[in-house]
Structure 1
């Protein structure tokens, strides 16, 4: 509903300011504004916004401090000021005003209106001579009306007919006195002649700010002010006209076309519509054109949406002044109904015809994760639910699987079914599964991953826990995983400690180490560990016993000086600890340091004093002591800082060259003496000489420990000495340092000459001596390497040639040469390349015996006459391998093709062979491999003869393979005795190494058939002929 709102001040209205009409004292000011019908004025509120007041309306405003907010009025309003009873009054009159009507109730939301004030009393007012006298009514109180009445105004002017009659009566009764009263029937109401008004209220009113102001059809409210009525109620004709105009406006706002749909997607649609045509009110009275405005009204639109199209199912989705709106968050493949209606202030039109549209289809929603139906050691049965298809039928489901914590999923099923069993899985292994749905519009996102583990078996007992470390109140243990685990299931370990009530768990987790804390010192404890997985555990490990250690003693007392320190010695003493930790002190350790982080042990023993000898003079030292017992080492004591007596500094150390040596300059540096003798070094001096016997020359003196000696001759030897000085004086000269000035390094060598010899593994390299640049070349460096690889030094020496050996045939090499002289190493020369010729293959390696069945498919034939060997193909050395020779010793070599295995047939059983293999190529035969000794297995044993030694009605005793006339059998031979049952079926009635067997529970006078078979390490022998024996 469109209502009066607080808006910013319109720029097209004129601001009416009147500071020249206001006094500077604190007199109260009252401002009366008379607004014509069809017009409006604006005033600022306390919040910084603008409030619109529509006419017809006389509005009073009261100011206590002489200031008033700016008032925005249409052009033509003129101010008039008068003072009455200590109150200054200002009237803002429209140009057509002829009299002052009574004041209607002011808008209640104007916060600067004052409450009831005694200064607002009814008084007559004398206008200038050119205007007739009129009466001006002052309100005693300002009533407050509800907000609804403010936003939808209900103030209605009297009809034209009643106003004209009142105007004529006032002119007849008015006299020269300005305060003449009307008859008592009017309750003392003072009226003025109103301006000509239209016969009916307009359809829409505007204030120059494009804001429609529509009056309400309700009658005006009556208020009692000091026992007097404020205005005359409207007539029946006026109310009928207002209702007709309101109905006409509602019909015009109901003429709106249904929205149009564009930009349709699966989740959004753009709806647009056209504003209805609403004309301003017709001028039926012929009033002045300047008193009317023709600005189109501001309309508000309400867009409603429904999925069913029924009236009660529509929901408001937009309310505003735009004629285009984008609907979002729509469901894919869904039918929607939309319609729009128009509202202007309190008038709202009917809804338009509904427009229907259907959103586009999209791929299915993400399915929920699959759930487990069954789980075995090698399979997992899964089932999943169908997601919302978003308008397109789901055609297939894609199931993917990954093993462990990897993210490499692979497809295991794609089809329309909503369940599947994944087989051929590893026992006790964790897998992840996810599923996605497919339709004609595409594939959905994958579901969340379902993680599960296949069924496994309980692990065996782990190894007993081992001792990692031990302390006073803790024992650190570690253990290893059980042997023979199946699968990759995660194991959980439980470390148990034996207590009086039994073993109690101290740790449970996946780690294979743990530290048991809060133990008693010097106490034995028993431990064991159990391993478990998802299937449980079998048995614990072996029980082990470990003991905690004793406690360490307290730290000793701080070392003290026994005598004053000397230049090279310090005598110190200390006190023992207050608590020895339960075990006697074995020894004390005294440490000495002249830095903060490096300590040196100077004494270890049972005494509590020590003399430190060989110390540096004038140096600060720190001393500390600790003790040790069976319980461990104590903490160190507090430090004792002491300085030895200072002496003169020693000689400077490590006089050397720092930086590059040039032909005319040498940069020298040196280290301070080992001991500064207790004072800082203040100066250093350097002297130079051509030799030891010549005169020394002073070249430097200053605080720095480096200097540059210039104006030297190139390639000349020089001797240097340095010394330091402190507050005690100059120290000794350092040892002599001899150095020579530099010469220029030689130039780069040319590319070496490479000559390939008859041997493919040797290459001769030669080069020329380059210009030496003033220093004789003393050495050459030859770098050699594979083409494209790093180069390494293969030779260094004075020679100009070298032979490279042990090269690989058919390989490309490169090399370069560098010359070195006393002046330094010159740059490397150009690179030369050479390729060695091809050669015979390398020696065959990894020759070994394998089973013949693993090499070829063998179904018949005796294995005692057959052997299979395999080998690894050697390097071909640039020529492709064409075959192999197999040497068996006395026989000629056996040639085979390019293969890595061969089966030797027709060999003698139980015989030994010596075998070698070599490779062949187009160059020739390579060297033989290392010999491999092989042995063929023996033949299976023949069956022994069978005889019956004892027979009875129900038993038969049989014997075989014994006696001097029988064939001897090898050791380790077993026998299988078979008896014929029904038909030709043989049943083994005995298997073992014995040579006799007794059959019992046989039938009387019945013949039985028997066969015997021998079995040895060579295999199972043939069955013997059938023997028949009968019971008695």
Structure 2
């Protein structure tokens, strides 16, 4: 027997008995959706679109949601939507304004608690184009210009201006010369007695801090390859005669803008790949010509975007035959009873031999015969072996360049494509005993940010070679480079005269690296000395017991 009180449902505080079974109390839904931010679908200058999921209903189906906001005033919350829909779009918002929202769910037993407050910023509107700049003062090697601010529809915005200049006969178009909030600028280091063109593009409501470039071979599956302030970027290690897609979005203090149009670029062709297979074709030559002719056949290689126009066939004593068509040919006017494409590479008594200076990923044929004082025995069957691809060489230790208080740029050397195969790189960071991959791709730079204070980070990089076979795209990795130390321990300034330092986090990176590497070298040296002492003691003991 179980007693349960249902004062909310029954309108009474009196307990009722339930006979032979237990009745479960239903309750309010759990707390409202905590992560409205995750449901954000789109932010505009005047609109915000939300998508959200229902919380746990605690046994009673959720019937509606209540969305409240502060109307962008930072004051008390008011209702902006109540209903069963799991998405809502708010219109007529102010540009470049902070808005706060919270959400609650409702079932038959009432409302849940409100979610955590989610904060969003609407993007800024583009102001009108400014008037053309005017010449303020002309010098021999400089020009001072000024301009007027346009009518700003949103007083909350801080306008920035970009002054662009076109150099005569450069063919490079307009290039930025100034970026800031001032209404005047002096451009220096110009050529005397030369005319220059200037313009000010439309200025955005907030200064652009970064650009994000996405790149990929599939338009719907592009990945981020660059984040930074530059207006251009060089992509390396591409595949010849391949189409790539790219798009760019801008970032400012308000947030991330929409992507621009998708660009499309096709890399030019290059020299063909290696011929993957070459073999003799039997029953191709008439019997009367078989003593002086051989038919050969090969597999057509990848043309790398430019149609193959011919083949060079080398045989015999470095004879070269050029044919326009393929993939087969008949070699004529050969010497009867003569072996082609085989040469003696070893003659001796051992049962093994290492053949060196071969080409990578190339098929070689071998045969062997034994000989004694009576003469040479019959030749063996032909055995075919294929060499593997060569992994890329080891890189030098990467270099570090601090950018600001919480980020640094990591650079490493680039390698040229190997016989048409593009090169990619893998960057690892080591903290303590843990190694983590932080970048993999064709670039030779990476921006490392959000690192912890009073910590040591080691970076190392290796190069990989991408190629394609019947199993798809493969990667062949070379060895890792030596590591580079990045220390975020703050420099402790000394007391007394000359002790006033700035205390930069990476002030003594080289000293830290030197000390750490010396400790590693010392450990290896002690280990080697220990092994040597043990070996000497063992030799002395063995000699002592043998003599006695």
TM range (shorter): 0.3 to 0.5
With normalisation by structure 2, the TM-score equals 0.36
With normalisation by structure 1, the TM-score equals 0.21
Determine which structure has greater relative contact order: mean sequence separation of CA pairs < 8 Å that are 6+ residues apart, divided by chain length: 2
